[in-house]
Amino acid sequence: MGDWNLLGSILEEVHIHSTIVGKIWLTILFIFRMLVLGVAAEDVWDDEQSEFICNTEQPGCNNICYDKAFPISLIRYWVLQIIFVSSPSLVYMGHALYRLRALEKERQNRKAHLRAQLEDLEPMLEEHRRVERELRKLEEQKKVNKAPLRGSLLRTYVLHILTRSVVEVGFMIGQYLLYGFHMSPLYKCTRPPCPNTVDCFVSRPTEKTIFMVFMNSIAAVSLFLNILEIAHLGIKKIQKSLCGQPLWPGGPSEDQPSAYNSKKSSVVPP
């Protein structure tokens, strides 16, 4: 499981910048895919070549038949699936961190601007007291730790969900074309240099079948959550359009004028 540490730490950062449905998707990825694959599935497939026995003594026939029966190890296939499905999240995380730094920089610029205003205003003026109150609020706020899901960041988020959905479907179809949903205990091989039709026997076919169905079922659940998350974002977008409220509280949209340039702007929320 040590090999998953880097990917796990990256996805933990993605977890912070995800919606509630996205957090569920990441939990399923961690527990039901990465953990199960690392703890249980590897033990089921560790004998797939050593225990793949054919009823022939012809040199090379056993290896050729194994290559035909298992063009790619399902363990390696599932590892690739997890990596490729997780990769779009890295692009989104990079964009989210960029927006987060931009928000914090805007907040610091706003504080510097307010301090400069205080120096130029008379202490007894109402404008001086207003600027002082706004500056005090900024000073009391905690550091922004989550970028608001709006504008180009929202588009990146939706695009990364669509991309991982397409990748998920592609891997599910690929597994079906390679192995189907059932691991047969007997494989008949006719490839040269085998002299005739050779019977080859797969170890623990029932256990392998259970894991194949399980991993495909988890992939289907993940795909459903992707669709649900897009619907969730669409509903939030409609609510925003009807109510004129922000999609997610937490900061100004990057498509709107910045607080630094607007006299009527409010404090950038944490």
Q: What are phi and psi of 259, to 5 degrees?
A: -65, -25
What pTM value is reported for the model?
0.71
- C-alpha span between 13 and 7 (Å, rounded): 10
Looking at the predicted structure, is the pLDDT value of residue 170 above 90?
A: yes
What is the tens place of the pLDDT at every residue in 22-53?
888 888 887 888 888 877 777 777 777 778 88
Q: Which residue has the tokens 């793949």?
A: 52
d(CA 244, CA 246): 7
Edge-first strand order for the sheet with 186-189 is 53-54, 198-201, 186-189
What distance in Å separates the CA atoms of residue 134 and residue 222, rounded to the nearest whole number? Answer: 45
180-221 confidence digits (pLDDT tens): 888 888 888 888 888 888 888 988 888 889 888 998 999 999
Q: With contact defined as beta carbons under 8 Å apart, do 185 and 201 qualify?
A: yes
- Which domains are delineated in the chain? 2-48+85-181+215-243 (1.20.1440)
User: For residue 29, how many other CB atoms are within 10 A of its CB?
Assistant: 22
Tell me phi and psi for residue 180, to 5 degrees.
70, -150
